[in-house]
Structure 1
Amino acid sequence: MSERDRGAAEGRAPRVLLAVCGGIAAYKACEVLRGLQKAGCEVRVTMTADAERFVGAATFEALSGAPVADDLYGYPGTPIPHVELGGWADLALVVPATANVMAKLAAGIADDCLTTTLLACACPVLVAPGMNVHMWRAAATQANVATLRARGTLLVGPDSGRLACGDVGEGKLAPVGEIVAAALELIGDLTRPKDLAGAHLLVNAGPTHEAIDPVRYIANRSTGKMGFAIAAAALARGAEVWLVAGPVSLPTPFGARRLNVTSAEDMRGVCLSLFGHVDAAICSAAVADYTPARPADHKLKKSRERLDAIELTETADILAELCALKGDRVVAGFAAETDELLAHAREKLERKGADLIVANDVSRPESTFGADTNRVALVSAAGTEQLETMPLPQVADAVLDAVRDLLRERGRL
């Protein structure tokens, strides 16, 4: 158990490291600090020299009741403040995150107290950007944002509106209340029961793309949201998670080991290679049932290579293969149906040999592909449990409750 998890279990106040950068919105970091304190958090501050041109360190020292880390060589109580604070924090919150500091974080540059401390953090990092619209839209900034998101860094904002410089557009710091709410939501994970601690889970998510030629493919409407929600919830409950993701643009849940794949055969190979290292597999991916038998190695030109028909061949059944290999491991699958939901789910449970089928009617607007809610039924040998429509994180927890109970029955948890 990490120090962060031990602290949550002991009921101490959540610890937030507030990293203040040099932008005009730096004064709003004071309000963020107060909002976090009112919610019961302990806050310490690190800031750049540029930030101190907008708000003095004395202000943050008075508000936080602790020294401000603005110098690697002059922090009271420790000769290594970046390591001390990096290990102390449950969450690092960067407000306002300037284009310069985001570039440094993306590149791993640690050339002052703030960036060195953030690099040493072993906790989730939440970034609230605040900058000029043209700086935000710059290709370099957007590439840095993509890099940070791919590594699991979370962003809140920016908003659009009139900026301090007079320009109008994106780059405005998100409202203080929104930043505080986002931080508290992440901190809420600290108090969740770690009832999956020690479990190793494989989660697949998203669609697969089956190539017709180098630029065309067959796919489906899956967005991966449900699988990513399951991965995030499992991590919050203490599990180790391998996330095998089809072609989606979702950010990686913090702490997940993500492997990106494209085709059904790619996903099959990765899932089979990982299955021997896990206690359970949750197969939420919408894997293509068919793939072109002979994909072209060049872009087909309709002027001379008309696609009047595409010969298809069945893809391998990943869920069935995992079930055949499972032994005492748990395998859960999904059934996305448009009619006779429960009958199809029960038939799939028996035919595949799965332990659990999560069935949802994708013809319903609240449970279709891309929705932020889902209405599912949990179908197992013990019976069927129909759940009400819930946000995806709550559905994820319900699925994980069922998987947890099965793991306990088999002595794997």
Structure 2
Amino acid sequence: MGWVLVGALVIGAGFAGAGAWHGHRVEAHPLRAVRSGQRLVAVVVGTDDPKAVAGKPFGGPKVMMRAQLVEYQLGGRTVQAGGAVVVLAPAAAWRAVLPGQRVEFRGKVSPPWRPDLTVAVLRAEGAPIAIDPAPWWQRVAGRVRRDFAEAAQRTLPADSAGLLPGLVIGDTSHLTEHVQKNFEESDLTHLTAVSGANVTILLGVVLVSMRALTVDPRFGAAAAALALVMFVILARPSPSVLRAAVMGAVALLGMCTGRRKQALPALCTAVIGLLAWSPNLAVDAGFALSVLATAGLIVIAPDWSEWLIMHGWWRIPAEAFAVAAAAFVVTTPLVIAMSGHLSLVAILVNMLVEPVIAPITVLGAAVAIFACLWSPAATLVLHCTTPPMWWLLTVSDRAGALGASITLPTGTRSGLIAAVLCTLVLFALRPARRPPVGETPDG
């Protein structure tokens, strides 16, 4: 126990020192000395797809893209400096930019929007001056994503066509405003972001298929690893996607082995490794929510599910309710602190839609493959997605129409109060420990 404590202190001190060093580098970055509104010519490499943002506050349709700064020209001087930046640009000219592309453009400097390791926000003025080709794997991934979206738009209604790519690979560029509003109202927005659930479902299908074909377990593991790499490339290897891949693999480990004593150290190792690889995740809300949800799945959900089964619930609804309730309870404090939004029907809604998420994910992955190989097969599989997509959209529409959400104050105080209340709920609902076989409760 003493060595564990010493190790925790050493790791904590190491991360504290590394965090202070990264923070100092950002504060000392040359761009921080440039006054807001100053024009310059910047060269960046995109790290994620451009995402649409509300155009009204920014004077027209805009996209936001995270990127790594390569250099910038200011006052006849070229400064070569790295660092994470956010590019805000006109949607029409920047929508087709792919991750990995080197882009040169004119723009203005603005302060960062969030207290993270972002150096600055660069507001692009017009189209890029020059764009280099993206790496071949990003071009392939871009073609697959484009063919997937086009096949869905040709075959499915507008709401389903915009939602399906978001559910499978996190592509929300065609998501309709109506569906987005319903998902926000009913706490289903996590379904349109690449999460550990996507990875868990896909890896689970691969492993089960390999087992059904009586393939050597080593080849099955290799096939699952290959599928994971392909999915990460398709969904873009950004920090959020890699975090989802690691968390999904950890969750799958916990569910496949049923050994939480192994899954918990794996989760801790994954968190430490991800923070070492990308310190910016320490202030990433998505990362925190993913870790909490995975921990709830491993630690809380199995006991709650077993308790419900012992009290007469069928296994499938018991497991669905336990997963939804555990994820809701452990993530609610952070959600309230960030957004002040609390849905009163979140557990029920997530429980109702949970059975169709796996079929949609698997069928959608098949569509993504067939869309660029053989269009008729993609169309056939898309028709198979119609019933589960109808159910998901119907539940979200009915839940959104209820208006069963509460607006609370945001901030640390609200989050801490919610955390205390959720802790009391967890303590009150903890299942009673059963005595060992052959031993009475009295001992």
TM-score normalised by the chain length of structure 1: 0.30
More relative contact order, 1 or 2 (CA 8 Å, 6+ apart): 2
Q: Which has the higher strand share?
A: 1
What TM-score, normalized to structure 2?
0.28
